[in-house]
Amino acid sequence: MKFSAFLLSLLLLAGCASAPRYDTRHPSANHDSRIQFVVLHYTSASLERSLQLLTHGEVSSHYLIGDDPKATIYKLMDENLRAWHAGESQWQGRTWLNSSSIGIEIVNPGFKETPAGRLWYPYSEAQIQSLIVLLKDITTRYAISPRSIIGHSDIAPLRKLDPGPLFPWKRLAAEGFGIWPNEQAVAHQQLQFEVQPPSISWYQAQLARAGYEIAQTGELDVATRHVIAAFQMHFRPSHFDGMPDAQTAALLQVLNQTK
């Protein structure tokens, strides 16, 4: 017994001796937070199903906002861990945003197909209030800029629609979470674009400047229409057909001039 205890102590000492020793007297000031963006989603599922998918499925997020009367905020994982919520994505030249973002899912069915077209589901006031509280906390701690609060459809416009056209981007921007073009400036600029419409190359360049991933083909191809539609759904949710028009051009120009 004594020999076993002695042997164990030697092994522990050997382990300690092999561990690296660090000099921490010279911390670098050259760093920033891993977390640069907040990406917002709807779940397309009930609360029970959303919790199941996000905790035991193939996707995950840092937070989930429920649809109960108080819109409970569920913290599903530590913010320092990489959640699987963004997938193949790009924003402002950064790819695979799982590594640089916090994901927030909101319980919402998304939409259903009807004979009259898609019927989109609204968010509750309690959900938006909970989201504002959560965003205030996150953006304060990580100094995340309003431009860096984005939707899944912004970072993956060829395959995603969430958080959808009924998401209140304008209201969130008024709270300091996201940006919104000045409407008077948009109306003024729209008159000019109605007289002289910009080229498709101009749209592609402006969309890339706004943050979207878009090939500079100079053609109104399928991919370009998807990106235009994603932009319209965010900033002109009443009409997002993916077709370039004077108002869309004005929104783009004013947005890119907004600090």
> Which residues on neighbouring strands pair with residue 117, listed in sequence order?
114
Q: What is the DSSP string of 48-86?
A: HHHHHHHHHSS---SEEE--STT-PEEE-S-TTS--S-S
Domain 37-174 has CATH 3.40.228.10: no
For the stretch 158-211, pLDDT in tens is: 999 999 999 999 999 999 999 999 999 999 999 999 999 999 999 999 999 999
* CATH architecture, domain defined by 183-257: Orthogonal Bundle (1.10)
For the stretch 30-82, pLDDT in tens is: 877 789 999 999 999 999 999 999 999 999 999 999 999 999 999 999 999 99
Residue boundaries of the structural domains of the chain: 37-174, 183-257
Percentage of the chain exceeding pLDDT 90: 87
In sequence order, the 6+-apart residues with CB closer than 8 A to the CB of 258 are 179, 181, 182
Closest to 59 measured CA to CA, from 136, 141, 152, 142: 152
Indicate which residue of 105, 175, 213, 219 is catalytic: 105
Domains 37-174 and 183-257 share a fold: no
Q: What is the pTM of this model?
A: 0.90
Confirm whether 175 is a catalytic residue: no
Q: How many helices (H) and strands (E) does the chain have?
A: 9, 9
